Structure 1
Amino acid sequence: MLARFNLMLAFLLVICALGLVTSQHRARKLFIDLERAQTHAVEHEVRWDQLQVEQTELAKASLIDERARRELGMQAVPADRTLHLSVDPVTRSVSLSQPWIERPSGARLSGVRAAATGPRKPDNASGTRRASPAGAPRAAPTGAPPAKGVRQ
């Protein structure tokens, strides 16, 4: 009976040893996978930083301006054809700001309609003047008709 007990303990010892080897092997495999995943994460982070730097470089105004002139044939709008409107957030009054024309500082506009310092030609056939919408492009392609709502 003691021999059976010893044989059973030896059998359990072998099974436990095989379980230990298997669990250590699995732990090593998981550790290797973790290391690979961390390496890939670092590579992705480096690539993300490179893409952000590249995006910042491409978004520079000088590069956009040069590309618009070169590829789209756009030209800058002269200052005498640009109208600047400023809105006072408190009084909600609109003022006309033309840097090339000396104007008294108290000149205000009611709404968007106002007379400039001198007579101006109408923009369209109906004889009305239009102001450019906020964010309108400042350059127009050469030889192409102006965009709707953009002063020419």
Structure 2
Amino acid sequence: MFLTLLAGAVFATALGVVYTQHQARKSFVELQALQGVRDELNVEWGRLQLEQSTWATHGRIEVMARDKLDMMIPPPAAVVLVKP
């Protein structure tokens, strides 16, 4: 009787170990996939930051203001300094 219970406990423990190993492998595969997605998103973030810095340069803004909005830098005589 005792040996039967012991064999059953050993078998149940073995099944638990197999199940735990399987879950660990599944979790590792999911982790690898998520790390790949993270890396892709980091690359895209870097590209977007570079694009934003390109669009926001002072020279580009000045050219756009001059060409599309017909803005210009006022001559020094037209500048009025206001003191508080």
With the shorter chain as reference, the TM-score category is 0.7 to 0.9
Whether 1:70 aligns to 2:70 is no
Structure with the bigger RCO (C-alpha within 8 Å, sep 6+) is 1
Q: Call closer, same or farther: CA 1:45–1:82 in 2, change over 3 Å.
A: farther
Question: Which residue identity lines up with residue 61 of structure 1 in the other structure?
Answer: H
**Which position in structure 1 is the counterpart of 2:44?**
47
Structure 2 distance, partners of 1:82, 1:21, is 83
Structure 2 unmatched runs, 5+: none
Partners of 2:17 and 2:58 lie apart in 1 by: 64
Gaps of 5+ in 1: 84-129, 134-152
Higher helix share: 2
C-alpha offsets along residues 96-146 of structure 1, whole Å, 9 cap, x if unaligned? xxxxxxxxxxxxxxxxxxxxxxxxxxxxxxxxxx5157xxxxxxxxxxxxx
Specify the SS of the correspondent of 2:72. strand
Partner of 1:81: 77
Q: Distance in 1 between matches of 2:67 and 2:61?
A: 10
How many equivalent residue pairs? 83
Which one of 23, 37, 41 corresponds to residue 26 of structure 1? 23
Larger radius of gyration: 1
Q: CA deviation at 1:9?
A: 1.9
Runs of 4+ in 1 over 4 A off after TM superposition: none
Partner of 2:58: 61
**TM-score calculated relative to the size of structure 1:** 0.48
Aligned counterparts of 2:56 and 2:82: Cα–Cα separation in 1: 24
Deviation at 1:35, TM superposition (A): 1.2
* Higher strand residue share: 1
The residue type paired with residue 9 of structure 1 is L
Q: Supply the distance in 2 between the matched residues of 1:17 and 1:77 (Cα, whole angstroms).
A: 84
Equivalent residue letter for 2:73: A
Q: TM-score, normalised by structure 2?
A: 0.79
